[in-house]
Structure 1
Amino acid sequence: MEDELPSGGIEVQSGNVAALEARWADCWKPRDVARRLDGISAPWYVAAGWALDLFRGEQTREHHDIEIAVPVGRFPEIRERFAEFTCDAVGAARIWESDGDATGADCHSADVAARARDGTLPA
């Protein structure tokens, strides 16, 4: 997977973990994402930790983020629903910060993290 990622990016050091968790401390719940994506034709699903809790039928721990999976070719359609956010690609212990509108075309093998343009996540 690392061979497919773009060069550059910011390496995440162990000392940066607390700052990254704080950056996404007010993460959305699955219902928030579902409301945002209501009516969209692109397939998507909740993945990772929240997916496990949805399967169990209860929240079992605090979550610092929420992951959704989207086919790369359909990412632009999903991206439109998050127009007020900037998207950062995350993978292989690196972050590629976006200074504009990420389309996902160059980060198909990485996770894409959305945050408000001022660096915060709105409630």
Structure 2
Amino acid sequence: MPRPANTDRMDTRPIPDHGAWDAWQPAELALRLRSVSKPWCVVGGWALDLWHGEKTRDHEDLEFTVLRDDVAMFREALGDMDFYAVGSGVVSPLPADAAPPAGIAQIWCHDRAAGRWRVDMMIEEGTADRWVYKRDPSIALPRAEMIATTADGIPYLRPAGVLLFKAKYLRDKDEMDFAKALPKLAPSERDWLKAMLRKTHTGHAWQERL
């Protein structure tokens, strides 16, 4: 059985430059995960662009989510990567036989041959049938309602879910993503996002615009 990282030994691998990103595009990730039958989906800005059907801006990284119990299977599919746990601003090596600690929900995947970060694996706590918002587990829906798939088979989080995550930070790119998505959101998506903002971010600036 895998054991928690950094419990009884030190991993002395050097930490690559945090800024050394040359992220894959979603199609490359999907190709590498083609043998994995467990749930996963693209999230973040790229998820919105998959929904738009075009690239609307540059993306410095590529994020996708997996269920915690499935992490080892996805690590195996990305076997030419080195894996680093990310939490509280700290990046630390995750040994090959180690499961991410319970408090870790993010794993950066480093292409050792190219010396570049390729993808950001996010861990979610839902189930194969149920999507759970990690910042408030009381927000949960059938996975089929929250995940869509492109014509060429790439799964992605639907825009209302992506924007709920982005609402916390309101970075320039988040504001840009919201503005581009807003005219295309279905009435039901607007209503759901507005209700979730009311629940999680009282008085949020996006509420009036929805």
TM-score (norm 2): 0.44
- 1:101 aligned to which of 96, 104, 107: 96
Aligned pair in 2 of structure 1 residues 36, 63: CA closer, same or farther (>3 Å)?
A: same
1-side partners of 2:76 and 2:61: how far apart?
20
Q: Which amino acid aligns with 1:52?
A: L
Mapped contact 1:75–1:103 kept (Cα < 8 A): no
1-side partners of 2:78 and 2:117: how far apart?
12
1:31 equivalent in structure 2: 27
Mapped contact 1:88–1:95 kept (Cα < 8 A): yes
- 2:45 aligned to which of 43, 49, 54: 49
1-side partners of 2:97 and 2:83: how far apart?
6
Aligned pair in 2 of structure 1 residues 74, 88: CA closer, same or farther (>3 Å)?
A: same
Superposed displacement of residue 108, structure 1: 5.7
Superposed displacement of residue 102, structure 1: 6.2
- 2:111 aligned to which of 113, 116, 122: 116
Structure with greater strand share of residues: 2
1-side partners of 2:67 and 2:34: how far apart?
17
Aligned pair in 2 of structure 1 residues 107, 49: CA closer, same or farther (>3 Å)?
A: farther
Residue 60 in structure 1 maps to residue 56 in structure 2: yes
1-side partners of 2:103 and 2:97: how far apart?
11
1-side partners of 2:68 and 2:53: how far apart?
29
- 1:40-78 deviation digits (Å, cap 9, x = unpaired): 111100011111111121111211211110000011111
Seq. identity, %: 32
Q: How many residues align?
A: 104
SS at match of 1:20: coil
Q: CA RMSD in A?
A: 2.6
Mapped contact 1:79–1:103 kept (Cα < 8 A): no
Aligned pair in 2 of structure 1 residues 67, 59: CA closer, same or farther (>3 Å)?
A: same
Mapped contact 1:72–1:108 kept (Cα < 8 A): no
Residue 20 in structure 1 maps to residue 18 in structure 2: yes
Q: Which has the larger radius of gyration?
A: 2
Gaps of 5+ in 2: 7-16, 119-210
- Higher relative contact order structure (alpha carbons within 8 Å, sequence separation ≥ 6): 1
